[in-house]
Structure 1
Amino acid sequence: MRIERGVIVSLNLAQIIRKKNQLSNLIRWPMTALGVWGAAWYVFIFLVDQGMHSSVAMLFSTFVGVSAAAMGWHRGMSQARTAALAMGFPVSFWLMGTATLPAWVWLLPLVLIVWIYPMRAWRDAPVFPTPLNALRDVPRYAILPAQAKILDAGCGAGDGLKALRLAYVNAQWIGIEFSRPLSWLAKFRCPWAEVRCGDIWQDHWGAYDMVYLFQRPETMPRAVEKAKAEMKPGAWLVSL
């Protein structure tokens, strides 16, 4: 969308949206959950057979589920299914009566997920990594000057910044991410970009030539209104 004398011109990225849907459809349920839970139990039994204490083996096995949940979430899996993957093994372990740790220990994986992706961020957008080549055609529609300032609003782990750098090689890339752990990861993956932890809604967009973001349909109107109120004429608001 381009901000031009108060008029917004839509930029059609339907092909990229279809790619997102295809990516989400790759996740099959419930076979995914059964496979992850089975793998966690296999790791637990194997480690106990090797002489490891059951409490330590439980933590390693729980990490299997948490890792799978993080990968699923990264690919657009729903919050409910992500929680099911992460909590499936510890809950079944507890229900079988073999647990020897306090009940609060089972909440640790969930606490880890919430720390990485705060509840406040859930209302804005799901975790969806921008495909590397998703924005390569955008310069055909949105022509920017040299050293243009491009903001990735909600940059996550830096995938959007990488895609923006590929599309606009002669620009300044800025990323804002509400999750502190993800902002650290984005800084590590994109040392050429200016990445900071912050709130995209509190940041003023007036200095940017382009703002790229990925939002839920119910929060996009807020982004459009913010762009109309703050962005300068000729600037671009781009979204998948």
Structure 2
Amino acid sequence: MLGPQIRQLALQFAAALAVLSLAWPYYGIRNEELPWPQTAFAIGGIAALFATISRQPWWWRLMHALFAPLAWSVSRLAIDPGWFLLLFVLLLLVYRGALTGQVPLYFSNRPSAAAIAKLTADRHDLRFLDLGAGIGSVLIPLASERPEAHFSGVENAPATWLIGRLRSAGLANCDWRWGDIWQTDLSGHNVVYAFLSPAPMAALWEKVQKEMPPGSLFVSNSFPVPGVAATRIIDVDDARQTRLYCYRI
């Protein structure tokens, strides 16, 4: 089965092939040069149509619509290819989750960390795991406040992992890990927290149900598990109106 990124590339390639297979013969017969601006916008339109037909989320439709026109526009700037390589490396260092798993980098804020601290205050044997821990926006405040509890964070973007590792270095109760959330064993934790995206929530819920022990708690920031009623929803008092979806196992 194709991965999500390969499927999106295949969709964009299909749109380009559909447009060029018609445009090149037409303008070739007329002995005219291919009008690249119009062709790029046509590819974007067909790609958006394909994304709509295949029921892609709205942001993928927008990305498919804009990709070809933006690529053509950037090509007109005659930028040295080395800058694109540098940009890609920087994006990979910071946004690896978005590039490889449809998980953008989101920072949990202080009100969210405070709400989670209150939520877990009655767990005296707290073993907390943050999946996609970023730079430790939740993990480090909680670990500082609860020195008797155990906290673990998993991150796979090199730059954010390094920042989080440095920030958590002085906390003996904080285990900062480099790793893949899908390869992380959840069975040793009684509270698991995630701030990911809508894309992985259904698969993550299956993993949570299989691995987390009875009585444990799964908390998702902003993104509910599709088709599953949350045990509790906490409205965080912050500017972006954050919601924490809590699921008791």
TM-score range, shorter chain: 0.5 to 0.7
The equivalent residue for 1:125 is 103
**Counterpart among 211, 228, 236 of residue 192 in structure 2:** 211
1:236 aligns with 2:217: yes
Do 1:154 and 1:177's aligned partners in 2 also have CA atoms closer than 8 Å? yes
- Specify the structure having the higher radius of gyration (Cα): 2
1-structure distance, mates of 2:115, 2:83: 48
User: 1:107 Cα deviation (Å)?
Assistant: 3.0
Paired AA for residue 202 in structure 2 = P
> Could you tell me how far 1:122 is from its partner in structure 2?
5.2
RMSD, aligned α-carbons: 3.5
Show the counterpart of 1:109.
87
* Aligned equivalent of 1:21: none
Are residues 166 and 122 of structure 1, via their aligned partners in 2, closer, same or farther at CA, if it must alter by over 3 Å?
A: farther
**Alignment partner, residue 159 of structure 1:** 137
Percentage of matched positions with identical amino acids: 26
Post-superposition CA distance 1:106-140 (Å, at most 9, x none): 43123221233226655342211110231323354
Aligned residue identity for 1:144: R
Q: Is the 8 A contact 1:213 1:239 kept in 2?
A: yes
Q: Distance in 2 between the 1:158 and 1:149 partners?
A: 16
1:216 deviation in Å? Answer: 1.4
1:196 aligns with 2:145: no
1:170 maps to what in 2?
A: 148
Verify the 8 A CA contact 1:138 1:167 in the aligned structure 2: no
Name which of 105, 111, 124 aligns with 1:145: 124
Aligned-pair CA distance for 1:178: 1.3
Contact 1:133/1:163 (8 A) holds in 2: no
One-letter amino acid matched to 2:216: A
Q: Aligned partners of 1:171 and 1:124: how far apart in 2?
A: 31
Distance (whole Å) between structure 1 residues aligned to residue 192 and residue 97 of structure 2: 23
Q: Which has the higher contact order (CA 8 A, sep 6+)?
A: 1
Maintained 8 Å contact 1:121/1:178 = no
Q: Secondary structure at the match of 1:117?
A: helix
Structure 1: 5+ residue stretches without partners: 1-77
The equivalent residue for 1:224 is 205
Change (3 A) 1:179 1:219: same
Cα deviation for residue 237 of structure 1 reads 0.8
Alignment partner of 1:108: what SS?
helix
Amino acid at match of 2:196: Q
Tell me how many residue pairs correspond in the alignment.
Answer: 153
Give the superposition deviation at 1:202.
Answer: 0.8
What is the distance in 2 between the residues matched to 1:205 and 1:122? 21
Q: Which runs of 5+ in 2 are unaligned?
A: 1-59, 222-249
- Equivalent residues of 1:132, 1:162 under 8 A apart: no
Contact 1:130–1:159 under 8 Å retained in 2:
yes
Contact 1:206 1:231 in 2 (8 A): yes
TM-score by length of structure 2 reads 0.51
Asked whether the equivalents of residues 127 and 188 of structure 2 are also in contact (C-alpha less than 8 Å), the reply is: yes
Shift of 1:201: 0.8
Task: Output the amino acid matched with 1:145.
Answer: H
Q: Residues 163 and 133 from structure 1, CA distance in 2 versus in 1: closer, same or farther, beyond 3 angstroms?
A: farther
